[in-house]
Structure 1
Amino acid sequence: MESEIVIKEATSQKDDFKVVQKGNMVESINKLNQVFHYIDLNYVKQGIMFHGWTGFRTTEQLKAVLDGHFMDIYKKYKCKGALVESTKMSGSFNEANDWLAGVFMPKLIGLGLTKVAVVLPHNIFAQMAVDEWDKKLADSLPGILAHKVTL
C-alpha cells in the first residue's frame, strides 16, 4: 500500500476539504470522505496538467482547489497544456465562470498555458456550465485554444 502524504488538513469550515498525495495522484477529499478533484502527476513531464472533477463541489471548493494546491503544482511544472476530465462531474459551476475566465485562466496563461481540452461531463447541468465557461473564455481570452470532447 502506497503511503499517503497530507498536503492540507480540513478545518471545521463547512466547505473545507483535505488534500492528500498518494503516489502520483493528488486528491481533494470533502467532509463526506469523497474525492471531488484529483491531479494526475504522471503527465507533467509531457507538459500536460491532467486533472479531473467528480461529483459535486461548491464554488468555494472549486476556487480553493484551483487557486490553492492546483496553482502551486502548476507553477512547479509550468505545463503548456491542460486536460480536464469531467465526465463524472455533477451539478453546475456557473457562479464561478466569471472568476475562471477573468481571474484564474489569465493567471495560467501568464504562466505559459497555451492549450486546454475538456472531456465533457455526462451531467447536463455540468455540461451547460462548461459551455458557459467556454463562451466566457473565448470572449475574454481569444488566444487560448480550448477543445471540448464527449465520451
Structure 2
Amino acid sequence: MSALTFRRPDGHIYLTAERNRTEGWIYDHWIGVQTKQTVMEGGLAYVDMLRAEPCPKLLNDHQELVGRFLEANDWIAQVWTPLIIQAGLRYFAHVLSPGIFGQLSIKDLHQRIGTQFEMQFFEDIEAAKDWLRSLPN
C-alpha cells in the first residue's frame, strides 16, 4: 500500500489517500473542515494516483469530515469529474459524514455527477467495502 498525507499550513492532517492493491481501490479519508483549496489539492492528487496506476474504485470516507464543502462542488463537477473518469474511475463508494451539512454537500454533488459513474452512499465503512468487493476490477 502506498499512502499520501495532506496537511494544512498549521500542520493538521486534512486528508490521507491510500492505494490498497489487495482490495483494488484507493481509500480517501477526509478529516475536519474542508475548503475549496483542500478539496482541489486532494482531488488532483487522487487523479495523479489514478493516472500513475489505474484503479476503477474509490472508497471516499467522510466519517471525520466536519461541516460542508458546497463551495467546491462546482469545481468537482466541472473539473475533477471529467479528469477522474478519463483516469479510469468507475465506482465511487461514499461513506457519509455524521453531520447534516456534509451529507447535504455530497447529495448536492451526487445530483451533479451521479450519472457519470456508479456512486453509492453508506453509513458505515464495512458496507462500502463490501459493495466495492462485489464489483469487477
2:48 matches 1:72 = yes
TM-score, normalization by structure 2:
0.82
**Which of the two has higher C-alpha Rg?**
1
1:114-138 CA-to-partner distances (Å, cap 9, x unmatched) read 1101000012111110111111113
2:17 matches 1:44 = no
Using the alignment, how far apart are the partners of 1:58 and 1:143 within structure 2? 24
Q: CA deviation at 1:45?
A: 4.9
Corresponding letter in the other structure for 2:119? A
Corresponding letter in the other structure for 1:30? R
Q: Structure 1: which 5+ runs fail to align?
A: 1-22
Distance 1:55 1:112, change over 3 A: same
Taking only aligned residues, the RMSD between alpha carbons, in angstroms, comes to 1.6
The total of aligned residue pairs comes to: 124
Indicate if the aligned counterparts of 1:82 and 1:115 stay in contact, CA closer than 8 A. yes
2:96 matches 1:148 = no
% identity of equivalent residues: 21
Where 1:97 maps in the other structure, the secondary structure is helix
1:74-127 CA-to-partner distances (Å, cap 9, x unmatched) read 211111111101100011110111211222011111121111010000121111
Where 2:11 maps in the other structure, the secondary structure is coil
- Residue in 2 aligned with 1:7? none
Using the alignment, how far apart are the partners of 2:24 and 2:85 within structure 1? 14
Q: CA deviation at 1:57?
A: 2.0
- Residue in 1 aligned with 2:13? 35
TM-score, normalization by structure 1:
0.75
- Residue in 2 aligned with 1:59? 36
Q: CA deviation at 1:65?
A: 2.2
1:26-45 CA-to-partner distances (Å, cap 9, x unmatched) read 1101122211000122x135
Where 1:89 maps in the other structure, the secondary structure is strand
Using the alignment, how far apart are the partners of 2:23 and 2:40 within structure 1? 26
